[in-house]
């Protein structure tokens, strides 16, 4: 199954993708994670992406597409994948169509995660990621359970993303409104879009997500 998760930053796409990938046995493909890994590795693409990411803007379409193309060519993506954070504008959605046409597979479902803006800002400011395993926690709503070990050893080693500061978050939400929201119509017109209420308890959201994917 090939699934696209659509939603503003902080709407819970990454958290739910991590939950669903175990159940559906398909990988989460997050272009944000791919870009952060490219930066950490100091690759030329990563360096080019740096300025746009730090300011909360979008990295150029060709850089992100290159990373995505490489990732989808890996063996574990053959059975399907959950795209988290891609596409983010109409040009990327069209590029995805072309890429999937080459691979001779369609997008099966697009799920829109709906969360009010005030809640998004609260969630993002509490968000922390484990440096070692990339698992996402929230200091307000879902800190690592006491005694939980990181699968990569020791305690989870939490860090806040540099672009999760308030000023950058405001810009990222604006970019979402202006560039990503048109995709609601893009996929809605094709009958692929399912909306879910992504507020409240994590398990409740996962249940709504499962139902939306079955609809
Ligand atoms: P995310 O982890 O999805 O919130 O992405 C973090 C940052 O990476 C974004 O604010 C963008 O600067 C960049 N990014 C991630 N995915 C994309 C994409 N599909 N197109 C352009 N930039 C992206």
| CB of residue 46 inside a 6 A radius of ligand 1 | no
User: What is the spatial distance between Cα 134 and Cα 154, in angstroms, rounded to a whole number?
Assistant: 14
Atom of ligand 1 nearest to the CA of 31: 16
Atom of ligand 1 nearest to the CA of 92: 19
User: What is the spatial distance between Cα 84 and Cα 88, in angstroms, rounded to a whole number?
Assistant: 10
- Ligand 1 centre from 56 Cα, in Å? 8
Q: How confident is the model at residue 112 (pLDDT cuts 50, 70, 90)?
A: very high
Ligand 1 pocket test, candidate residues 59, 113, 123, most atoms within 8 A of CB: 59
CA dihedral of 115, 205, 215, 17, whole degrees rounded to 10 = 90
Question: Is beta strand 158-159 parallel, antiparallel or unpaired with respect to 127-130?
Answer: antiparallel
In 10 A of CB 47, how many CB atoms?
A: 12
pLDDT recorded at residue 161? 86
Closest CA to 16 of 109, 136, 100: 136
> What's the rounded mean pLDDT across residues 173-198?
97
Considering only 97-101, 159-163, 184-188, which range has the smallest mean pLDDT? 159-163
Asked whether the predicted pLDDT for residue 142 surpasses 90, the reply is no
The helix (H) or strand (E) run that includes residue 34 is helix 31-40
What is the distance in angstroms between the CA of the first residue and the CA of the last residue of the chain? 14
| CB of residue 14 inside a 6 A radius of ligand 1 | no
pLDDT digits (tens, 9 = 90+) for 40-81: 999 999 999 999 999 999 999 999 999 999 999 999 999 999
pLDDT recorded at residue 145? 93
pLDDT digits (tens, 9 = 90+) for 10-46: 999 999 999 999 899 999 999 999 999 999 999 999 9
Closest CA to 67 of 48, 87, 45: 45
Closest CA to 77 of 153, 3, 141: 3
DSSP, residue by residue, 109-175? EEEEEE--HHHHHHHHHHEEEETTT--EEETTTBPPPTTPPPTTSSS--EE--GGGSHHHHHHHHHH
pLDDT recorded at residue 134? 87
Contact 9, 113 (CB under 8 A): no
User: Rounded to a whole number, what is the largest CA-CA distance in the chain?
Assistant: 48
pLDDT > 90 fraction of the chain, expressed in percent and rounded: 87
User: What is the spatial distance between Cα 124 and Cα 113, in angstroms, rounded to a whole number?
Assistant: 15
pLDDT recorded at residue 62? 96
């Amino acid at each position: 199954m090939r699934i696209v998760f659509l939603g503003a930053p902080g709407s819970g796409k990454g958290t739910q993708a991590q939950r669903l990938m175990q159940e559906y046995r398909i990988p989460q493909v997050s272009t944000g994670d791919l870009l952060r890994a490219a930066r950490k590795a100091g690759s030329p693409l990563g360096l080019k992406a740096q300025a746009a990411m730090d300011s909360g803007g979008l990295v150029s379409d060709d850089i992100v597409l290159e990373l995505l193309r490489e990732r989808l060519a890996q063996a574990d993506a053959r059975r399907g994948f959950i795209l988290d954070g891609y596409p983010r504008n109409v040009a990327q959605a069209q590029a995805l169509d072309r890429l999937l046409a080459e691979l001779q597979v369609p997008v099966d479902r697009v799920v829109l995660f709906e969360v009010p803006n005030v809640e998004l800002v609260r969630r993002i400011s509490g968000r922390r990621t484990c440096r070692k395993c990339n698992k996402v926690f929230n200091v307000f709503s879902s800190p690592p359970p006491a005694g939980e070990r990181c699968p990569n050893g020791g305690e989870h080693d939490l860090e806040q993303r540099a672009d999760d500061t308030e000023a950058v978050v405001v810009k990222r939400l604006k970019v979402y409104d202006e560039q990503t929201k048109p995709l609601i119509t893009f996929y809605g017109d094709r009958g692929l879009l399912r909306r879910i209420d992504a507020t409240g308890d994590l398990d409740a959201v996962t249940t709504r997500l499962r139902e939306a994917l079955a609809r």
